[in-house]
Chain A
Amino acid sequence: KAVVSTQSTGKLRGSIVPGSVVILLAGVHRGKRVVVLKQLPSGLLLVSGPYKINGVPLRRVDQAYVIATSTVVDLPALPEIGDAIFKRKGKPTKNEKEMFIDNTTEEPKISAEKIALQKEVDALVVPAVKKVAMLQSYLKSKFTLSKGVYPHDLKF
Chain B
Amino acid sequence: MLYQRYIEIGRVCYIRLGDHAGKTCVVVDMVDQKHLLVDGPETGVPRCVLRLNQVAITDLKITIPRGCKTKKVRVELTKANIPAKFAKTSLAKKAAAKVAKANLGDFERFQVRVAKTLRNRKIRTTVRKMKKSS
Whether the pair A70, B105 counts as a contact (CB closer than 8 A) is yes
Residue ID in chain B nearest A69 by CB atoms: B106
Scoring B102, B105, B107, B111 by chain A CB atoms within 10 A of each residue's CB, the highest score goes to B107
Report Cα–Cα, A23/B114, bound state, in Å. 19
Determine whether the beta carbon of B102 is less than 8 Å from that of A138.
no
Render A48-71 as a binary contact track against B, CB cut-off 8 A, 1 for contact.
000000000000000000000111
| Tally of A interface residues using CB under 8 Å | 16
Q: Which B residues lie at the A interface, using CB under 8 A? A: 102-107, 109-111, 114
C-alpha spacing A154/B103, complex, angstroms: 8
Judging by beta carbons under 8 Å apart, are B102 and A69 in contact? Answer: no
Q: Does A100 have its Cβ within 8 Å of any Cβ on chain B?
A: no
Q: Chain A 87-100 against B: per-residue CB contact (8 Å), 1 yes, 0 no?
A: 00000000000000
Contacts of B104 in A (CB 8 A): 155
A141 to B117, CA, bound (A): 14
- Least CB separation from A21: chain B residue: B107
Residues of chain A at the chain B interface (Cβ within 8 Å): 21, 23, 33, 69-71, 134-135, 137-138, 141, 143, 153-156
Do residues A23 and B106 form an inter-chain contact, with CB atoms below 8 A?
A: yes
User: Whose C-beta in chain A lies nearest to the C-beta of B113?
Assistant: A141
Q: Which residues of A sit under 8 angstroms from B106, Cβ to Cβ?
A: 21, 23, 33, 69-71, 143, 154, 156
**Which of B102, B103, B107, B109 touches A135 (beta carbons < 8 Å)?**
B107
- Residue in A33, A69, A137, A141 with the greatest tally of chain B CB atoms within 10 Å: A69
Give the shortest distance, in Å, between B7 (CB) and chain A (any CB).
Answer: 34
Q: Is the CB of B111 within 8 A of A134?
A: yes
Beyond known contacts A143-B106, A156-B105, A156-B106: 13 more, CB 8 A cutoff: A23-B106, A33-B106, A69-B107, A70-B107, A71-B105, A71-B106, A135-B107, A137-B114, A138-B107, A138-B110, A138-B111, A154-B106, A155-B102
A82 to chain B minimum Cβ distance, whole angstroms, is 30
Q: List 26 A-B contacts (CB under 8 A).
A: A21-B106, A21-B107, A69-B105, A69-B106, A69-B107, A70-B106, A70-B107, A71-B105, A71-B106, A71-B107, A134-B110, A134-B111, A134-B114, A135-B107, A137-B110, A138-B107, A138-B110, A138-B111, A141-B110, A153-B102, A154-B106, A154-B109, A155-B102, A155-B103, A155-B105, A156-B106
What residues of B have a CB within 8 angstroms of the CB of A143 in the complex?
Answer: 106
